[in-house]
């Protein structure tokens, strides 16, 4: 066995070689411990990490949880394993280690991630890119693939770039697989349950720029250029046809009464011109300080709306003020004077924020009454001829949400993937629910709509079908568990089932936290190659070292401790 890397003070192992990763897997297998690997922590924490040790508390089940649970199980971070090697610079073939980030990750707790060492930037300087990207590019390539993440396009997909990977099974055996191998479709998206990805081989796409616009329209049929809820009319496409015709797009739907608008972001590819003066997409104000103030005010607004007690609101806002101060220090250069000025500005905003919280939490009805006017300031309708136009490098503006700070604008969601030909039925159902349920159904945040191209990966929610993807946003400071039977997301899951609209859920986002056995059966029945995947899992993880309690509940319908044996686990999955 190769020498083990030491356990870091942060609770993670930080391997720097493939041999060290193999040694960690062998240790877990020999000692019957769990081993799980994290990327950028953009999945729910319990989907990422191992179970805690006996008597220890589990990690909060939130996104961007940076600390693993305490205990003997092995949690691995790849911040020392992120090299990129050019296999064929002319054809754009590279081989990358599992820890390389797609883009810069501003929340990397080790500070290792930079724009310059990211996959996208290193590809960019050589004249290449990836075919599609998600709304952010903070993720590691292994995390992005393992969770089935995707960009908003029916024409392009990162799937076409992935041509091979090496992966270490539960016995510590490392092997390469490529697209010609039958198991490839199972391994690329396997939730960390078939092994630890070590390296990925990528066939890059020749570089292109993106050209696009963002316009905010009312949802009223007379004013919206898309027939959101119908089959389309001459000159006005149905929403399904709009998604088919637009190379890259996403729509933010604000369905609340007296708000009722959609923010349409759309872009297409263009030639990478030799002389190019980019105009980046700006999600917030162009000035970084104003953008951070805007996000801080939004954090205050949504935290007040999502909680019932003044003290709780103020406590939950502390990280936002701390983050604002940190960002301001950075933008002003980080000198002693900059830190002092950032402290003063943050203190002033704290006073303003405290007055706002005290007043509006005392008169909560007034806050709800002025909500439409506040959203109109934050997300105004676009005046004719004033669309936000952008043209930019792929790595910079195709991930259109990179400008949103994970703390100031902490957003969690369930992501529902519906067959594309059910788009009209699904949109009509949501419109009805929003109008009848009002804030109980709409919440105070937007709902994101975009598409996904069909995939051949066995556990992809887009397996063998194009999809409409619906993200029901939940501000991370809201009180309650949105995935419980009585809370926010359940109304959508249950309504879709009742209306016989088939759907699959994004693995890295919220899954139902109730009726586990019933939902496990639903999930299993949704994937044609489920049994094939589980038979492969039986071979690759005979001692269940990659399985934690979170995945046991969602795959088996019961706690891992309630499984009598490894054999029972696999037989139940195959039943």
Spell out the alpha helix ranges (H) of 363-477. Answer: 364-378, 394-397, 423-437, 439-442
What is the 3 state secondary structure string of 208-252?
CEEEEEEEEEECCCCCCCCECCCCCECCECEHHHHHHHCCEEEEE
pLDDT of residue 408: 96
pTM tops 0.75, yes or no: yes
Residue-level pLDDT at 263:
98
Give the model confidence (pLDDT) of 266-305 as tens digits: 999 999 888 999 999 999 999 999 999 999 999 999 999 9
b/e sequence 233-266, b meaning 16+ C-beta within 10 Å: eeeebbbbebbeebbbbbbbbbbbeebbbbbbbb
The four Cα atoms 313, 319, 324, 328 give a dihedral, to 10 degrees, of 150
Burial of residue 1 (number of CB atoms within 10 Å: 0-12, 13-18, 19+) = exposed
Alpha carbon distance 149, 16 (integer Å): 25
User: Could you tell me if 96 and 203 are in contact, meaning their C-beta atoms sit under 8 angstroms apart?
Assistant: no
Which residues, at least 6 apart from 478, have a Cβ–Cβ distance to it below 8 Å?
302, 306, 307
SS3 473: strand
Residue with tokens 């359940």: 490
Going by the DSSP 8-state scheme, the letter that residue 272 receives in this structure is -
Distance between CA atoms of 378 and 373, rounded to whole angstroms?
Answer: 9
Q: Looking at the DSSP assignment, which residues form a beta bridge with residue 293?
A: none
Q: Kindly state the helix (H) or strand (E) to which residue 166 belongs, with its residue range.
A: strand 162-168
Q: How is residue 391 written in tokens?
A: 């043209």
- Write down the pLDDT at residue 569: 57
- CA–CA–CA angle 560, 562, 563 (5° rounding): 70
Which two tokens mark 412?
Answer: 């969690």
Cβ atoms 494, 438 nearer than 8 A: no
Q: Which residues on neighbouring strands pair with residue 413, listed in sequence order?
A: 473
pLDDT tens string, the chain, 575 residues long: the values are 568 999 999 999 999 999 999 999 999 999 999 999 999 999 999 999 999 999 999 999 999 999 999 999 999 999 999 999 999 999 999 999 999 999 999 999 999 999 999 999 999 999 999 999 999 999 999 999 999 999 999 999 999 999 999 999 999 999 999 999 999 999 999 999 999 999 999 999 999 999 999 999 999 999 999 999 999 999 999 999 999 999 999 999 999 999 999 999 999 999 988 899 999 999 999 999 999 999 999 999 999 999 999 999 999 999 999 999 999 999 999 999 999 999 999 999 999 999 999 999 999 999 999 999 999 999 999 998 999 999 999 999 999 999 999 999 999 999 999 999 999 999 999 999 999 999 999 999 999 999 999 999 999 999 999 999 999 999 999 999 999 999 999 999 999 999 999 999 999 999 999 999 999 999 999 999 999 999 999 999 999 999 999 999 999 999 998 875 555 655 555 55
Task: Collapse the DSSP code of 84 into the 3-class scheme (helix H, G, I; strand E, B; otherwise coil) and give the result.
Answer: strand
What are the two backbone dihedrals, phi and then psi, of residue 203, each rounded to the nearest 5 degrees? Answer: -100, 100
Complete edge-to-edge strand list for the sheet that includes strand 93-97 = 84-88, 93-97, 196-203, 162-168, 174-178
The secondary element (H helix, E strand) that includes residue 379 is none
Q: How far apart (Å, rounded) are the C-alpha atoms in residues 473 and 442?
A: 9
Place of tokens 């009509």: 428
Residue among 291, 220, 290 nearest 261 (CA): 220
The per-residue pLDDT for 273 is: 86
Tally of CB atoms within 10 A around 219: 18
Residues 6+ apart with CB under 8 A from 484: 490, 513, 514
Count how many residues are written for the chain.
Answer: 575
Please, which residues have CB within 8 angstroms of residue 317's CB and are 6 or more apart in sequence?
299, 300, 303, 353, 357, 477
| Residue 353: how many other CB atoms lie within 10 Å | 23
């Amino acid at each position: 066995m190769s020498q083990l890397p030491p356990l870091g003070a942060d609770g993670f192992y930080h391997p720097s070689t493939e041999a060290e990763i193999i040694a960690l897997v062998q240790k877990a297998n020999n000692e019957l411990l769990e081993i799980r690997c994290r990327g950028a922590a953009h999945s729910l924490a319990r989907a990422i990490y191992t179970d805690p040790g006996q008597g220890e508390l589990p990690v909060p089940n939130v996104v961007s949880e940076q600390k693993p649970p305490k205990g003997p199980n092995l949690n691995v971070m790849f911040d020392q394993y992120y090299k990129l090697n050019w296999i064929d610079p002319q054809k754009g073939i590279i081989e990358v280690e599992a820890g390389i980030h797609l883009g810069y990750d501003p929340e990397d707790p080790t500070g290792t991630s930079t724009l310059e060492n990211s996959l996208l930037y290193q590809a960019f300087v050589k004249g290449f890119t990836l075919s599609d990207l998600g709304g952010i590019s903070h993720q590691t390539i292994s995390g992005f693939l393992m969770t089935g993440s995707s960009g908003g396009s029916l024409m392009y997909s990162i799937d076409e770039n992935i041509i091979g990977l090496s992966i270490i099974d539960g016995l510590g055996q490392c092997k390469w697989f490529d697209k010609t191998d039958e198991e490839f479709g199972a391994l690329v998206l396997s939730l960390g349950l078939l092994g630890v990805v070590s390296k990925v081989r990528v066939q890059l796409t020749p570089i292109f720029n993106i050209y696009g616009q963002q316009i905010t329209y009312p949802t009223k049929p007379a004013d919206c250029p898309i027939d959101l809820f119908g089959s389309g009319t001459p000159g006005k496409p149905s929403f399904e046809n709009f998604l088919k015709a637009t190379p890259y797009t996403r729509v933010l739907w604000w369905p609340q009464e007296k708000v009722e608008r959609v923010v349409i972001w759309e872009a297409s590819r263009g030639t990478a011109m030799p002389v190019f003066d980019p105009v980046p997409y700006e999600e917030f104000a162009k000035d970084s300080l104003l953008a951070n103030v805007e996000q801080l005010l939004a954090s205050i607004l949504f935290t007040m709306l999502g909680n019932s007690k003044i003290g709780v609101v103020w406590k939950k806002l502390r990280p936002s003020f701390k983050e604002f101060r940190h960002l301001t220090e950075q933008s002003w250069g980080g000198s002693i004077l900059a830190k002092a000025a950032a402290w003063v500005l943050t203190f002033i905003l704290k006073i303003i924020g405290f007055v706002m919280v005290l007043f509006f939490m005392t008169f909560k009805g007034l806050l709800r009454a002025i909500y439409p006017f506040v959203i109109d300031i934050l997300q105004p309708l676009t005046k004719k001829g004033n669309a936000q136009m952008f043209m930019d490098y792929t790595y910079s503006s195709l991930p259109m949400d990179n400008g949103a700070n994970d703390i100031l604008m902490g957003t969690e969601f369930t992501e529902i993937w519906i067959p594309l030909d059910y788009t009209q039925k699904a949109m009509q159902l949501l419109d009805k629910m929003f109008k009848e349920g009002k804030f109980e159904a709409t919440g105070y945040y937007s709902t994101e709509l975009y598409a996904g191209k069909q995939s051949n990966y066995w556990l992809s929610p887009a397996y063998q079908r194009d999809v409409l993807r619906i993200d029901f946003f939940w501000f991370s400071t809201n009180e309650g568990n949105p995935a419980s039977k009585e809370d926010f997301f359940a109304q959508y899951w249950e309504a879709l089932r009742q209306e016989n609209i088939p759907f699959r859920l994004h693995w890295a986002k919220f899954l139902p936290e109730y009726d586990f056995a019933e939902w496990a059966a639903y999930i299993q029945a949704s994937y044609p190659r489920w049994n094939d995947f589980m038979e492969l899992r039986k071979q690759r993880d005979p001692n269940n070292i990659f399985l934690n309690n979170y995945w046991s509940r969602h795959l088996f319908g019961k706690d891992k401790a309630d499984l009598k044996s490894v054999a029972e686990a696999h037989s139940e999955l195959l039943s």
